[in-house]
């Protein structure tokens, strides 16, 4: 479904990604692990078209997306949930969802506002509140709901467990499971190995801009030296 090959990215003078290669199949949840500054967020942003100095290839359903602007990539069926949440603070919850709304897409589950309010009951209660009045956890849910309004087939989740309370982390895990049940593919970047193990099928470990490991968690657990070396474990 998604095939990234030889992805290079620069930011200012620094070379952040040096030939990242990864794939995500339909209906699969894949974790991109690595410590801060390893290149996880840059990889996700590069796929989304948010990094300007990039080269290589990002193929999605056979179509080359590298170099296309973010809105084209979104319309192709990729949803993006940024690490910093970036909800529109002055817009209401309902308006935030409206910004994300896109037409229905063939082969992707359709998310209506009503459906999303069912999935995130807190948001339903606060639909008339401005984004800035929400708690951190509610904001995290809103940013996911907003992305789902675009009816994506693949969702990029950047550090979904970062900076939120453990209770919300657990809720996040349930949401990702729900997305998988609906048939969506997910690529998530994560530092928390245990959270990643809980929600994903497979993992890549990225370090200094390159993929250093790929495999499933059973294999990763059998090789503690790998996580020792590349992850903050």
Query: Residue 220 is encoded by which pair of tokens?
Result: 């990763």
Cβ atoms of residues 211 and 23 within 8 Å:
no
CB 182 to another protein: min, Å:
19
Compute CA distances 64 → 1, 29, 40, 61, 67, whole Å: 12, 22, 21, 8, 9
Size of the site for another protein (CB under 8 A): 51
Q: CB of 161: closest distance to another protein in angstroms?
A: 8
Contact between 82 and another protein by CB under 8 A: the answer reads yes
Binding status of residue 161 toward another protein by CB under 8 A:
yes
Near another protein in 53-72, by CB under 8 A: 69-71
Instruction: Please list the helix, strand and coil fractions of the chain in percent, rounded to the nearest 5, in that order.
Output: 35, 30, 35
Nearest to 164 by CA among 200, 204, 145, 192: 192
> In the stretch 15-34, what mask flags binding to another protein with x, by CB under 8 A?
--------------------
Q: By CB under 8 A, name the one of 118, 170, 178, 221 that touches another protein.
A: 170
Q: Chain centroid to CA 117: how far?
A: 21
- Per-residue contact string for residues 106-145; x = within reach of another protein by CB under 8 A: ------------------------------x---------
Q: Does 13 bind another protein (CB under 8 A)?
A: yes
Which span sits near another protein by CB under 8 A: 16-24, 75-83, 178-186, 211-219?
75-83
Hey, which residues between 198 and 227 contact another protein (CB under 8 A)?
198
Complete DSSP assignment for 151-193? --SEEEEESTTTTS-HHHHHHHHHHHHHHHHTT-EEEEEES-H
Q: Determine, following the binding rule CB under 8 A, whether residue 95 of this chain makes contact with another protein.
A: yes
> Residue 229 has which token pair?
């070396």
Check: CB of residue 42 under 8 Å from CB of residue 51.
yes
Give residues with Cβ within 8 angstroms of 233, minimum separation 6.
193, 227
Nearer to another protein, 25 or 112 (CB): 112
Task: Specify the residue for token string 């948010």.
Answer: 50
Binding site for another protein (CB under 8 A): 12-14, 35-37, 48-50, 52, 69-71, 74-75, 80, 82, 86, 88-91, 95-96, 98-102, 136, 146-147, 150, 161, 163-166, 169-170, 173, 192-195, 198, 228, 230-233
């Amino acid at each position: 479904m998604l095939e990234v090959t030889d992805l290079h990215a620069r930011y200012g003078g620094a070379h952040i990604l040096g030939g990242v290669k990864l794939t995500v199949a339909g209906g699969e949840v894949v974790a991109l692990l690595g410590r801060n500054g390893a290149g996880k967020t840059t990889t996700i942003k590069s796929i989304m078209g948010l990094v300007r100095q990039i080269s290589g290839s990002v193929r999605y359903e056979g179509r080359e997306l590298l170099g296309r602007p973010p809105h084209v990539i979104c319309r192709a069926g990729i949803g993006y949930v940024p690490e910093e949440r970036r909800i529109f603070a002055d817009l209401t919850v309902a308006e935030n969802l409206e910004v994300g709304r896109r037409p229905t897409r063939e082969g992707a589950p359709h998310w209506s506002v009503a459906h999303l309010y069912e999935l995130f009951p807190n948001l339903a209660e606060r639909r008339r509140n401005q984004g800035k009045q929400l708690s951190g956890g509610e904001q995290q849910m809103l940013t996911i709901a907003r992305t789902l309004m675009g009816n994506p087939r693949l969702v990029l989740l950047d550090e979904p467990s970062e900076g939120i309370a453990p209770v919300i982390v657990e809720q996040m895990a349930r949401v990702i499971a729900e997305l998988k049940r609906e048939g969506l593919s997910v690529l998530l970047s994560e530092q928390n190995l245990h959270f990643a193990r809980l929600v994903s099928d497979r993992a890549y470990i990225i370090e200094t801009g390159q993929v250093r490991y790929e495999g499933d968690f059973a294999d990763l657990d059998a090789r503690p030296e790998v996580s020792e070396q590349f992850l903050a474990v």
